[in-house]
Amino acid sequence: MPNFFSFAHAWLKPIAPRDPHEKHRVATSLELLFDLIFVVAIATAGQQLHHAIIENHLAHGLTLYGMVFFALWWAWMNFSWFASAYDNDDALYRILTFIQIIGSLVIAAGIPSAFQQQDFDVIIIGYAIMRLSLVTQWLRVAKHDAERRQTALRYAFGIILVQCGWLLFHFSPIQFTVYLFALLAAAELCVPVFAEAVSRTPWHAHHIAERYALLTIIVLGESIVGCSIAITDALNNQRFSTELIFLMIGGLVMMFTMWWAYFDSEIAERLNSRKMAFAWGYGHFFVFISIAAIGAGLAAAVDVVSHEALISSMHESYFVAISLMVYTSSLYILHEAHHQSGLKKWLYPLTVVIVLCIPQFIEPAGYTIFAMAAVYALRLILSKCYLKR
């Protein structure tokens, strides 16, 4: 009997709250595995956006990309904040996380159908797998964390209620798909606000900041890999040119500058405010989606330079410029705007104007992207190195 109880204890530890001020809290190997597998779905979505760009189906492709990316980001974010507060690393926690990993792979498998046929059935199934696994975790919290039982139950029943809406999404007329999606996405965003109004879950500010930083660098890396594959394909098919060299350099400078801009700011200390935590956590949707969009845009630019795309050089350049503007604007609002003054405060808006004007004066796309990367890099160097706060 003692052996049985020891075995059961190893499988089912009480899922007690973690210390939000725990020293040296870092991401676990299971969280890193989750991120790496999860990015498979992000890469699949990026490939579909790449095809939509070169086929000049921008409006259709961006709409579907935004819908798919929201499902991916939201599932990842819910897992990350829950793990920060309640990761007890028992066997059941690991199994439920593994089930969420399966759900992410099912979502990835359904992405091509969503883009090509607007069939979201497989994505909804994968999303349901991930969300219902998380509901099980919240019910465990309700059992073991008496202080936050009401919060955990609000999370569990809120997720179930919205998930019922996603199942009904399958039966909606195709002309209402976007509107119903927007309504359900808004409902998803409201669940944590509703649940945390009772009492705050004990997530760890430094751990959360690290989790977001890790996904940022993974998505940046995935974008670079996507560009590298496109460039390799162009070289293998003997489509080498001076413009392609400028595009390669410009793309690498742009990605490196994006990395520098993100990781040059300390954010954890500012997450102690509930309002700031929500704004920062939700605002990263635009950070992540713009990074992935830039990666798809740079890969598509290789096809434009190689004359293998239907989209015009100017439209492709504007796609990259606007994606870069979304990234830099999000980062500026989340990380920089609160402490800037004087000339430095006006340097960012001026950079945005210049970047958006470049496609009007510089063509074709390879040279345009190089020029945009150079302007953005110059702005960062001036901002970080020469203009004091």
In the numeric block, which tokens belong to residue 155? Answer: 């999370």
Upper half-sphere CA count for residue 104 (Cβ side, 13 Å) = 29
What is the distance between the alpha carbons of residues 41 and 29, in angstroms, rounded to a whole number? 19
Residue-by-residue DSSP string for 8-73: HHHH----PPPPTT-TT----HHHHHHHHHHHHHHHHHHHHHHHHHHTT-HHHHHHHHHHHHHHHH
Contact (CB, 8 A) for 251 and 374? no
Q: How many CB atoms lie within 10 A of CB 170?
A: 11
The residue extents of the domains of the chain are 29-203, 206-266+273-386
Q: How far apart are CA 154 and CA 142, in angstroms?
A: 10
| CA–CA dist 158, 23 (Å, integer) | 32
Q: How far apart are CA 220 and CA 42, in angstroms?
A: 11
pLDDT of residue 37: 86
Q: Report the distance separating Cα 301 and Cα 319, nearest Å.
A: 10
Count Cβ atoms below 10 Å from residue 117 Cβ, excluding itself: 9
Lookup result for tokens 């705007």: 337
Residue 37 corresponds to which tokens in the numbers above? 């597998």
Angle between helices 242-263 and 313-331 (to 10 degrees): 10
* Total-model pTM: 0.90
Report the C-alpha gap between 36 and 40 in whole angstroms: 7
Query: pLDDT by residue (tens digit) across 59-109?
Result: 989 999 999 999 999 999 999 999 999 999 889 999 999 999 999 999 999
Beta-carbon-side half-sphere exposure of residue 183 (alpha carbons within 13 Å): 10
Task: Output the CA–CA distances (angstroms, integers) from residue 20 to 15, 86, 187, 268, 365, in the order listed.
Answer: 15, 10, 27, 12, 48
Kindly report the length of the chain.
389
What residue ranges of the chain have pLDDT lower than 70?
A: 1-10, 238, 268, 337-346, 384-389
